[in-house]
A and B are shown apart, each in its own frame.
Chain A
Amino acid sequence: GAVVSQHPSWVICKSGTSVKIECRSLDFQATTMFWYRQFPKQSLMLMATSNEGSKATYEQGVEKDKFLINHASLTLSTLTVTSAHPEDSSFYICSAPSGGYGYTFGSGTRLTVV
Protein backbone atom coordinates (compact mmCIF):
# COMPACT_ATOMS: atom_id res chain seq x y z
CA GLY A 1 0.00 0.00 0.00
CA ALA A 2 0.84 3.66 -0.07
CA VAL A 3 3.66 4.71 2.23
CA VAL A 4 4.83 8.12 3.37
CA SER A 5 8.32 8.05 4.81
CA GLN A 6 8.93 10.82 7.35
CA HIS A 7 12.37 11.74 8.66
CA PRO A 8 13.77 12.28 11.14
CA SER A 9 11.61 10.42 13.63
CA TRP A 10 12.99 12.53 16.42
CA VAL A 11 15.30 15.51 16.67
CA ILE A 12 16.71 17.68 19.42
CA CYS A 13 17.95 21.11 18.49
CA LYS A 14 19.18 24.22 20.22
CA SER A 15 16.99 27.27 20.49
CA GLY A 16 17.51 29.58 17.52
CA THR A 17 18.50 26.90 15.05
CA SER A 18 16.46 25.53 12.15
CA VAL A 19 15.22 22.01 11.64
CA LYS A 20 14.05 20.38 8.42
CA ILE A 21 11.53 17.56 8.34
CA GLU A 22 11.06 15.52 5.17
CA CYS A 23 8.12 13.52 3.95
CA ARG A 24 8.48 11.30 0.92
CA SER A 25 5.77 9.35 -0.82
CA LEU A 26 7.42 6.06 -1.71
CA ASP A 27 5.07 4.41 -4.15
CA PHE A 28 2.66 7.07 -5.23
CA GLN A 29 2.69 10.68 -6.30
CA ALA A 30 1.67 13.14 -3.63
CA THR A 31 0.48 16.30 -5.32
CA THR A 32 -0.79 17.48 -1.94
CA MET A 33 0.72 17.13 1.51
CA PHE A 34 -0.88 18.17 4.77
CA TRP A 35 1.26 19.14 7.74
CA TYR A 36 -0.06 18.71 11.26
CA ARG A 37 1.26 19.55 14.71
CA GLN A 38 0.29 17.62 17.80
CA PHE A 39 1.02 18.80 21.32
CA PRO A 40 1.13 16.21 24.12
CA LYS A 41 -2.23 14.65 24.84
CA GLN A 42 -3.90 16.85 22.24
CA SER A 43 -5.33 16.39 18.79
CA LEU A 44 -3.70 16.98 15.44
CA MET A 45 -3.96 20.56 14.33
CA LEU A 46 -3.61 21.28 10.63
CA MET A 47 -0.81 23.77 10.04
CA ALA A 48 -0.64 24.02 6.29
CA THR A 49 -1.34 22.38 2.97
CA SER A 50 1.38 22.12 0.38
CA ASN A 51 0.83 21.53 -3.30
CA GLU A 52 3.54 20.49 -5.70
CA GLY A 53 4.89 23.45 -7.58
CA SER A 54 2.94 26.14 -5.77
CA LYS A 55 2.97 28.03 -2.51
CA ALA A 56 1.66 26.39 0.60
CA THR A 57 -1.62 27.40 2.17
CA TYR A 58 -1.33 28.11 5.88
CA GLU A 59 -4.07 27.82 8.46
CA GLN A 60 -5.02 30.85 10.46
CA GLY A 61 -2.55 31.61 13.20
CA VAL A 62 0.35 29.67 11.70
CA GLU A 63 3.40 31.79 10.95
CA LYS A 64 4.42 31.12 7.38
CA ASP A 65 7.84 32.68 7.87
CA LYS A 66 8.54 30.39 10.77
CA PHE A 67 7.25 27.18 9.26
CA LEU A 68 8.62 27.04 5.74
CA ILE A 69 7.06 24.44 3.51
CA ASN A 70 8.46 23.32 0.20
CA HIS A 71 6.86 20.84 -2.16
CA ALA A 72 9.35 20.73 -4.98
CA SER A 73 8.43 17.37 -6.45
CA LEU A 74 5.57 14.90 -6.55
CA THR A 75 7.30 12.72 -3.98
CA LEU A 76 8.87 15.15 -1.53
CA SER A 77 7.52 17.80 0.79
CA THR A 78 9.58 19.45 3.52
CA LEU A 79 8.77 21.49 6.60
CA THR A 80 11.50 23.70 8.03
CA VAL A 81 11.04 25.11 11.49
CA THR A 82 13.15 28.26 11.48
CA SER A 83 14.66 29.87 14.56
CA ALA A 84 13.13 27.20 16.72
CA HIS A 85 12.11 27.96 20.28
CA PRO A 86 11.06 25.64 23.11
CA GLU A 87 7.39 26.37 22.41
CA ASP A 88 7.85 24.80 18.97
CA SER A 89 8.57 21.48 20.61
CA SER A 90 5.87 19.18 19.36
CA PHE A 91 5.04 16.13 17.29
CA TYR A 92 4.83 16.95 13.59
CA ILE A 93 3.02 14.63 11.18
CA CYS A 94 2.56 14.78 7.44
CA SER A 95 -0.24 13.22 5.43
CA ALA A 96 -1.01 12.80 1.75
CA PRO A 97 -4.14 11.75 -0.13
CA SER A 98 -3.33 8.28 -1.43
CA GLY A 99 -6.24 7.20 -3.55
CA GLY A 100 -9.55 5.60 -2.71
CA TYR A 101 -10.45 8.65 -0.64
CA GLY A 102 -7.77 7.61 1.80
CA TYR A 103 -4.91 9.43 3.40
CA THR A 104 -1.48 8.08 4.26
CA PHE A 105 0.30 9.48 7.28
CA GLY A 106 3.98 9.68 8.03
CA SER A 107 5.19 8.18 11.27
CA GLY A 108 5.76 11.59 12.79
CA THR A 109 8.71 13.65 14.00
CA ARG A 110 9.22 14.43 17.66
CA LEU A 111 10.92 17.84 17.85
CA THR A 112 12.46 18.98 21.11
CA VAL A 113 13.97 22.44 21.28
CA VAL A 114 16.32 23.04 24.18
Chain B
Amino acid sequence: AQSVTQLGSHVSVSEGALVLLRCNYSSSVPPYLFWYVQYPNQGLQLLLKYTSAATLVKGINGFEAEFKKSETSFHLTKPSAHMSDAAEYFCAVSAGNRDDKIIFGKGTRLHILP
Protein backbone atom coordinates (compact mmCIF):
# COMPACT_ATOMS: atom_id res chain seq x y z
CA ALA B 1 0.00 0.00 0.00
CA GLN B 2 1.07 3.57 -0.63
CA SER B 3 0.64 6.71 1.44
CA VAL B 4 2.08 10.19 1.71
CA THR B 5 2.46 12.51 4.66
CA GLN B 6 2.70 16.23 4.14
CA LEU B 7 4.28 18.04 7.04
CA GLY B 8 2.54 21.30 7.79
CA SER B 9 -1.02 22.02 6.75
CA HIS B 10 -0.12 25.70 6.38
CA VAL B 11 3.16 27.26 5.31
CA SER B 12 3.81 30.99 5.08
CA VAL B 13 6.75 32.53 3.28
CA SER B 14 7.58 36.05 2.24
CA GLU B 15 7.49 37.02 -1.40
CA GLY B 16 10.92 36.32 -2.85
CA ALA B 17 11.85 33.79 -0.17
CA LEU B 18 12.52 30.10 -0.58
CA VAL B 19 9.51 27.82 -0.70
CA LEU B 20 9.87 24.38 0.90
CA LEU B 21 6.92 22.03 1.15
CA ARG B 22 7.63 18.68 2.76
CA CYS B 23 6.39 15.29 1.69
CA ASN B 24 7.32 11.84 2.94
CA TYR B 25 6.04 8.71 1.33
CA SER B 26 5.49 5.10 2.20
CA SER B 27 5.36 2.47 -0.48
CA SER B 28 5.82 -1.27 -0.67
CA VAL B 29 7.02 -0.98 -4.26
CA PRO B 30 9.11 1.63 -6.08
CA PRO B 31 6.83 4.64 -6.11
CA TYR B 32 5.87 7.21 -8.62
CA LEU B 33 5.50 10.58 -6.92
CA PHE B 34 3.67 13.72 -7.91
CA TRP B 35 3.09 17.27 -6.80
CA TYR B 36 -0.14 18.99 -7.75
CA VAL B 37 -1.39 22.52 -7.17
CA GLN B 38 -5.02 23.48 -6.69
CA TYR B 39 -6.48 26.95 -6.79
CA PRO B 40 -9.84 27.59 -5.09
CA ASN B 41 -12.77 25.78 -6.68
CA GLN B 42 -10.60 24.44 -9.46
CA GLY B 43 -9.22 21.09 -10.47
CA LEU B 44 -5.64 19.96 -10.07
CA GLN B 45 -2.64 21.04 -12.06
CA LEU B 46 0.43 18.84 -12.25
CA LEU B 47 3.58 20.61 -11.14
CA LEU B 48 5.98 17.72 -11.58
CA LYS B 49 6.35 13.97 -11.31
CA TYR B 50 9.01 11.43 -10.45
CA THR B 51 8.85 8.18 -12.38
CA SER B 52 12.16 6.49 -11.49
CA ALA B 53 14.38 8.48 -13.83
CA ALA B 54 16.37 11.46 -12.56
CA THR B 55 15.99 12.02 -8.83
CA LEU B 56 15.90 15.80 -9.23
CA VAL B 57 12.75 16.69 -11.06
CA LYS B 58 12.06 20.10 -12.51
CA GLY B 59 8.50 21.20 -13.00
CA ILE B 60 6.49 24.16 -14.10
CA ASN B 61 6.54 27.65 -12.62
CA GLY B 62 10.05 27.24 -11.26
CA PHE B 63 9.25 24.37 -8.90
CA GLU B 64 11.44 21.34 -8.43
CA ALA B 65 11.55 18.31 -6.16
CA GLU B 66 14.17 15.77 -5.21
CA PHE B 67 13.46 12.10 -4.67
CA LYS B 68 15.48 10.80 -1.73
CA LYS B 69 14.96 7.10 -1.24
CA SER B 70 17.04 6.97 1.95
CA GLU B 71 14.80 9.57 3.53
CA THR B 72 11.59 8.46 1.78
CA SER B 73 11.07 12.09 0.91
CA PHE B 74 9.98 14.12 -2.08
CA HIS B 75 10.07 17.73 -0.91
CA LEU B 76 8.96 20.53 -3.21
CA THR B 77 11.02 23.70 -3.51
CA LYS B 78 11.07 26.98 -5.35
CA PRO B 79 13.93 29.46 -4.95
CA SER B 80 11.82 32.62 -4.92
CA ALA B 81 8.14 32.75 -4.00
CA HIS B 82 5.68 34.80 -6.00
CA MET B 83 2.30 36.02 -4.88
CA SER B 84 0.68 33.85 -7.52
CA ASP B 85 2.09 30.74 -5.82
CA ALA B 86 -0.47 31.04 -3.04
CA ALA B 87 -2.56 27.87 -3.36
CA GLU B 88 -3.08 24.38 -2.00
CA TYR B 89 -0.36 21.86 -2.81
CA PHE B 90 -0.80 18.12 -2.79
CA CYS B 91 1.84 15.44 -2.80
CA ALA B 92 0.67 12.14 -4.25
CA VAL B 93 1.95 8.62 -4.83
CA SER B 94 1.11 5.69 -7.03
CA ALA B 95 2.54 2.22 -7.30
CA GLY B 96 3.94 2.87 -10.73
CA ASN B 97 1.73 0.73 -12.88
CA ARG B 98 0.10 2.68 -15.64
CA ASP B 99 -3.46 2.40 -14.37
CA ASP B 100 -2.74 2.37 -10.68
CA LYS B 101 -4.70 4.67 -8.41
CA ILE B 102 -3.05 7.79 -7.09
CA ILE B 103 -3.20 8.53 -3.38
CA PHE B 104 -3.03 12.09 -2.11
CA GLY B 105 -1.59 13.65 0.99
CA LYS B 106 -3.69 15.98 3.10
CA GLY B 107 -2.35 19.05 1.36
CA THR B 108 -0.40 22.13 2.37
CA ARG B 109 -1.82 25.61 2.04
CA LEU B 110 0.92 27.98 0.93
CA HIS B 111 0.53 31.60 1.98
CA ILE B 112 2.73 34.30 0.44
CA LEU B 113 3.38 37.34 2.59
CA PRO B 114 3.99 40.67 0.85
Contacts and interface: CB of A to CB of B under 8 A. Distances in A.
Contacts, number: 49
Interface in B58-114: 90, 96, 98-99, 101-107, 109
B44 interface: yes
B32 A101 contact: yes
Contact of B106 (A6, A43, A91, A102): A43
Interface residue tally on A, bucketed by range: 20 to 34
A43 B102 contact: no
Nearest to B96: A101
A31 to B, nearest CB: 7
A32 B99 contact: yes
Nearest to B88: A41
Nearest to B45: A105
B28 interface: no
Interface residues of B, number: 22
B43 A105 contact: yes
B46 interface: yes
A49 B100 CA distance: 10
A26 to B, nearest CB: 14
A110 interface: yes
A106 B43 contact: yes
B107 A43 contact: yes
A44 B41 contact: no
B90 A44 contact: yes
Contacts of A101: 32, 49, 51, 96, 98
Contacts of A36: 104
B42 to A, nearest CB: 7
Interface string A82-106: 0000000001010101000111011
Leading 7 A-B pairs by shortest Cβ distance: A107-B43, A32-B99, A101-B51, A105-B44, A43-B106, A44-B104, A105-B43
Given A34-B101, A41-B109, A108-B41, 14 more contacts: A6-B43, A31-B99, A34-B102, A44-B104, A46-B101, A49-B101, A101-B32, A101-B98, A102-B46, A103-B34, A105-B36, A105-B43, A107-B43, A110-B41
